[in-house]
Each structure stands twice: as structure tokens, then as C-alpha cells.
Amino acid sequence: MPDLHFTKGHGTGNDFVFFADPDGLIDLTPAQIAAIADRHFGVGGDGVIRAVRSKNLAAGAASLAEDDAAEWFMDYHNADGSLSEMCGNGIRVFAKFLIQNELATLGQGETLPIG
């Protein structure tokens, strides 16, 4: 498994492991994701979320077709390693992760489009 610099985030009772992969070069297997999310032997979390620039991921490119301002794609995997299309609590903490890590900026009253 590659070395990952990660952040653990919590939102409305759920916890997630986040890592930035702007260029989409880190492709973890479902087993690796499950190992990270394991609460006894890993970091632990309800899911693992990778921040990828939308243009660098096929699913993200589809999001750009819908909203060309969606610079970042939330690549979300459940704790068992399976891919999930969306996580409401995860998206809240994802936006905070992007802002705190200076990957995105958000002015007062602005929205942050995410793929």
C-alpha cells in the first residue's frame, strides 16, 4: 500500500478517512480501503474518501459535463471497500477537507460545486 497522508473527519455521527490525490494516481483496491477503514487494525471509519480533480477521473469527467465548475470529485468508498455514488454526511466533511487543505476556496455565501 502506498504511503498516504490522510485526515480523519467527522460529520453528523459518521467518520471518514480523507486523502488528496489531485492527479488521480493513487488507485487503492477494495481490500486496501477496507484495511484503512477497519476500526481495530486500521485508522477506522465509515468510509474512505479520495479528493481527485474531476478532469483526472472518468467519473469526475462525467460530472464536469453536467457542471464545468465541479473542479473536485469525491471518490467515496464504503468501509467494506465497495464504491458508493454518494454520501450526504461525507460531502459536508469533504468540502471542509478541501477548504482546510487549501485545495478550494469558498467566499461568504458562495457554493462549492463537487462532482
Q: Please indicate, yes or no, if residue 54 is contained in any of the structural domains.
A: yes
Q: What is the pLDDT of residues 5-18, one digit of tens each?
A: 999 999 999 999 99
Global pTM reads 0.91
Inter-residue contact 16 to 47 (CB < 8 Å): yes
Q: Answer yes or no: is 106 within a domain.
A: no
Total domains present in the chain: 1
Residue 47 burial by CB count (10 A; 0-12/13-18/19+): exposed, middle or buried?
Answer: buried
Quick one: pLDDT at residue 58?
A: 82
Query: Considering the domain boundaries, does residue 105 fall inside one?
Result: no
Do the Cβ atoms of 61 and 54 come closer than 8 Å?
yes
Domain that holds residue 43: 6-100
In this structure, is residue 43 part of a structural domain?
Answer: yes
Residue 60 domain-assigned (yes or no): yes
In a domain, 115, yes or no: no
pLDDT given at position 8: 97
Q: Domain for residue 12, yes or no?
A: yes
Q: What one-character DSSP code corresponds to residue 6?
A: E
Q: How confident is the model at residue 34 (pLDDT cuts 50, 70, 90)?
A: very high
β-pairing, 14-20 vs 6-11, is: antiparallel
The percentage of residues in the chain with a pLDDT greater than 70, rounded to a whole number, is: 99
Tell me, what CATH number does 94's domain have? 3.10.310.10
